[in-house]
Amino acid sequence: MGKLNIPVYLDYSATTPVDERVAKAMMECLTLQGNFGNPASRSHVFGWKAEDAVTEARANVANLIGANPKEIIWTSGATESDNLAIKGAAHFNARKGKHIITLKTEHKAVLDTCRQLESEGFEVTYLDPEDNGLVDITKLADAIREDTTLVSIMHVNNEIGVIQDIGAIGALTRSKKILLHVDAAQSPGKVAIDVDAMNIDLLSLCAHKVYGPKGIGALYVRRKPRVRIEAQIHGGGHERGMRSGTLATHQIVGMGESFRIAHEEMEAENARIEKLRDRLYDGLKDMEEVYVNGDLEQRIPGNLNISFNFVEGESLMMSLKDIAVSSGSACTSDSLEPSYVLRALGRNDELAHSSLRFTLGRFTTEEEVDFTIKEVRKAVEKLRDLSPLWDMFKDGVDLDTVQWAAH
Amino acid sequence: MAYSDKVIDHYENPRNVGKLDADSENVGTGMVGAPACGDVMRLQIQVDDNGVIEDAKFKTYGCGSAIASSSLVTEMVKGKTLDEAAAIKNMEIVEELALPPVKIHCSVLAEDAIAAAIEDIKAKREKKAESAA
Ligand SMILES: Cc1ncc(COP(=O)(O)O)c(C=O)c1O
């Protein structure tokens, strides 16, 4: 440990670098000397070898979530998995009912899929989370109707890192005989998943948030009791007809290896990352007017989403040019709206515009955290000196009483 | 998003940051935008008896382009008469800072800030003229 890599990467929830061990395994599946065959080729050793590699990867992915390898369907990523799960289940069960329940803080891959279904005549309830980002189970129970066929709730939120109580949600949906889909793109290696204990029917995964490659993911589809979905991509009948297309051996091997490592190293890694995250928060929390977004306890170790009141997020990122983070602000003409996730928590727009998301990961060091604390404090101070809102706050003006010329 | 060198220069070395006495009869204050929209500009001009802007100060809450636009505007208005300042168009700011299309609203806000500051000082002066009459 003990290295400062500039620029400092603190955006692990956007994507992660591929672990060297994963890259090595992948590179062995490409060239003539390597394992390049088509796993669907049944007539020769090239195909068999590739199939063996895919089988091993499938077992590694299944193992991390407590599933049977037969329940894993390869896809191109969590976006495709979300589409396949939600559209596939909604369409298959359309005769039973056309009502779906989801959460306002879901990833766009879920929300936009639900929007699409609405345009096809489905009805969708978008639940509000509580102010800490978590679902109130009684509100979910109240939203369930006779014609509800599917509930889609994410496990770990990508912006604020809060962890939903999927076990409690699964107990409810199972008792009502409603399917539960869980977007777990952000979970592997950070929080345990057990599809049986949690009564999950469909679960979306991807590799690139877990030190695996981009462009590969998986959908868990329960076999007992059997969950049926309509395929969205048709062709050679791969993946038991649920997702056709030649399997990308190198990508799959990469995902398998990344999940194997995540499963093995999860405990030690989380302990280390949590310490760093707490160090980061401790280094910032004594500043005036800083607010953590989302529950601090029910949260993955690597996430700190924090608002620096009276400072706009995008300008803050501009000051932090040696640190890669993301912001809940979006100051562009196509979207003056700040993060819909923070707004759904009931955060006012000012605080949403003033937010930064730091996500720490496998290669984050103490030196990088200390550097970040120093830089952030300097930048916030500079921008507050520039901020008319800070002036007003310091003069005791209540900004909520000011008549703003909204534009 | 990549910023132009000029935006970065104004952002890193903002000109004329500060506050003038808003109650002074020679000072016009324009505050535009809203915190909920992610940008608020406060532009203040100090005007001499001949209607020439002799000083300008700003503070801005907003993205880098908003900060750069207001910083630039303080430079542009100094030495101008109120009428000349009122004639400044947002496209001049866009060109000078090489703002991309998604940031044009920052320049519009800066133009609005000039107009609001001018309106404020004119209103003050009319009021003074009325009470003198
Ligand atoms: C919660 C969540 N769902 C879905 C996705 C989309 O995943 P992918 O990039 O693999 O399509 C992401 C990542 O951006 C995510 O964080």
Query: What digits encode the pLDDT tens for the residues A130-187?
Result: 999 999 999 999 999 999 999 999 999 999 999 999 999 999 999 999 999 999 999 9
- Report pLDDT digits (tens) over B13-72: 999 999 999 999 999 999 999 988 889 999 999 999 999 999 999 999 999 999 999 999
CA–CA separation, A91 and B8 (whole Å):
51
- Report pLDDT digits (tens) over A186-219: 999 999 999 999 999 999 999 999 999 999 999 9
Q: What is the pLDDT of residue A404?
A: 82
Q: Mean of the pLDDT values across residues A283-287?
A: 97
Token pair in block for residue A175? 């008792």
Could you tell me which residues are beta bridge partners of residue B33? A405, B40
Instruction: Return the best residue to mutate from A206, A214, A359 for the ligand 1 pocket (most ligand atoms within 8 A of CB).
Output: A206
CA–CA separation, A316 and B38 (whole Å):
12
Contacts of A195 (CB under 8 A, 6+ apart): A65, A66, A67, A71, A203, A220, A222
Q: How many CB pairs under 8 A join A and B?
A: 101
pTM of the model: 0.93
Contacts of B2 (CB under 8 A, 6+ apart): none
The alpha carbons of chain A give a radius of gyration, in whole angstroms, of 23
> How deeply is A282 buried, as exposed, middle or buried, from its count of CB atoms within 10 A (0-12, 13-18, 19+)?
exposed
Query: Is residue A259 within 8 Å of residue A188, measured between CB atoms?
Result: yes
| ipTM surpasses cut 0.85 | yes
CA–CA separation, A178 and B127 (whole Å):
70
Percentage of residues in chain A having pLDDT higher than 90: 91
Q: Which of A310, A314, A348 sits opposite B63 (nearest CB)?
A: A314
Measured in Å, residue A213 CA sits from the centre of ligand 1 at 13
Task: Name the residue with tokens 């509000």.
Answer: A128
DSSP string, B4-40: PHHHHHHHHS-SSBS---TTSTTEEEEEEEEGGGTEE
Q: A83 CB less than 6 Å from ligand 1?
A: no
- CA angle, residues A153, A203, A28, in degrees to nearest 5: 140
Could you tell me which residues are beta bridge partners of residue A183? A204
- Report pLDDT digits (tens) over A368-402: 999 999 999 999 999 999 999 999 999 999 888 88
- Report pLDDT digits (tens) over A327-352: 876 554 445 578 899 999 998 888 98
A397 touches chain B (CB under 8 A): no
Which amino acid type is present at position B111?
E
3-state secondary structure at position A109: helix
The single-letter DSSP state of residue A349 is H
Q: What is the pLDDT of residue A332?
A: 47
Which amino acid type is present at position A338?
P
| Chain B residues near residue A329 by CB distance under 8 angstroms | 38, 63
